[in-house]
Structures are given as structure tokens and as C-alpha cells.
Amino acid sequence: MRTPAKSTPKTPRAALPYLCGAVGGPLFVVAFLVQGAVRPGYDPMRHPVSSLALGPSGWTQVADFVVTGLLMLVFAVGLRRGLRDSGRHSTWGPLLIGLYAIGLVGAGVFPTDPVSGYPPGTPAQGEHTWQGRLHDFPFSLLVFVALTAACFVFARRFAGWGERGWAVYSGISGLVFIGAFVLAGMGFAQTEGFVELGGLFQRISITVGFCWVSALAVHLMRTSQGSAPVRPA
């Protein structure tokens, strides 16, 4: 079994990428919760988070996507360097976090199409625009596929590093994340019995995923960056 030598980053600059990863998730979640609570005609239980980018105040959700994506991209770059310097080699983990970040930025730049009756007065399934197609594929799909894969990659890595609790947490987070995402997709596709809960399932998926990323950033900030190489127990 291998265990890491624990220490915190030696300089504020070394800690910055991890702090970006830690605050990005809470920032995104708080922003869409506040917007969903005050936006006229918007039902958080029914409508997707991406729909908040539509309408006169949509720029706030666009900024939420882009800023969070950039924070995650900084985290991904710093994570790769930190893991390498501490002897915790992982290529796919940071790469998948980086792809997840790119997906967030793209989902903000290309707004979604109206769905489930939002904005008010639009049909349940409106016309598909090229911006909406790009929002859904590749960017939104990239967000969910990359983050799910990152959960499973780090579950395997943590198991190899002898951190079984983190391995289990990462694996369960990946399963809940993708499971709730699939249910949300069924709701947004107007599948009977799921339409009124599509927004709820998506919020569960997003919150679980972002909580995992934030916890991962804090944990690795304490144990990887600036620490001695991983050594046998």
C-alpha cells in the first residue's frame, strides 16, 4: 500500500489552482439557485439550468458557465503539475477535468434552445438552432461524460494510493452523477412521468459532481502539492 506524505502547498501561488477548483463548484451552484428563484416563469423542478441563459438576464448564466469553466481549467493545469511533483502520477485525471472545463465554457458561449416551456410562451420542444446543437453536443455532453470518467479514474487512482474512502466516494459520485443526468435527460426529452422532475434530477447531478470536484481540490491541496513523493507505507 502507498500513502502520501501530507503537507500543504508551500506558497500561495502553488495553492491557487486548487483554490480555483474548490470555489468553482459552489460559485456555479449558488449562482443558478439564486437565478432560478427570482426568474419569472422559471420552475427549478422542471427546467434545466442551461435555460437560465435565455432571455434578457441570460448573460448572468452565460457568465456563470464561462467563469466556472475557466476556474476549472486552471485547476486542471495545476492538478497535473501538483500530482507529478508529489509522485502521484495521473495523466487521465487532470486531462478529463480539463475537458470538463472546456465543456462548461462552450455550454456558456453557445446557449441552449428553449425546452419544457421556458422561456414562457415557447413550446415544450422548440426549433433546434445551431447554437443549441453545439450546446448539447459536444459541450454539454462533454461536461457530463468527462466528469463521470474523472470520478472513475480517480477512484482507481485513490485505490492504488491506499485511500479507500476516497476511492469509494469517487466511484459513488460518478454513478450518482451519470444516473441523475440520464433521468434529467429523459425529462427534457418530454418523457412522460419525468418532465416535471427534469430540473430536479439535473440539479442533483450537477451538485453531486461539483461537490466531488471541490472536495477533490481541497483534499489534494492538502496532500499533494508541495509534499514529498508518495512512498511505500
Per-residue pLDDT, averaged over 96-115, amounts to 97
Q: Please give the pLDDT value at position 85.
A: 81
Domain limits, the chain? 2-232
Orientation angle between helical segments 59-86 and 198-223, nearest 10 degrees: 30
The Cα 80–Cα 92 span in angstroms is 9
The Cα 196–Cα 183 span in angstroms is 11
The Cα 83–Cα 94 span in angstroms is 9
Q: pTM above the 0.85 mark?
A: yes
Identify the three-state secondary structure at position 233. coil
Decide: residue 215, CB within 10 A, 0-12 exposed, 13-18 middle, 19+ buried.
middle
Residue at grid coordinates 451552484: 29
pLDDT digits (tens, 9 = 90+) for 129-182: 999 999 999 999 999 999 999 999 999 999 999 999 999 999 999 999 999 999
Q: Exposure pattern of 8-31 as b/e (b: 16+ CB <10 Å)?
A: ebeeeebbbbbbbbbebbebbbeb
Q: Please give the pLDDT value at position 9.
A: 47
Q: Please give the pLDDT value at position 87.
A: 78
Q: Please give the pLDDT value at position 88.
A: 82
| pLDDT-based confidence at residue 10 (cuts at 50, 70, 90) | low
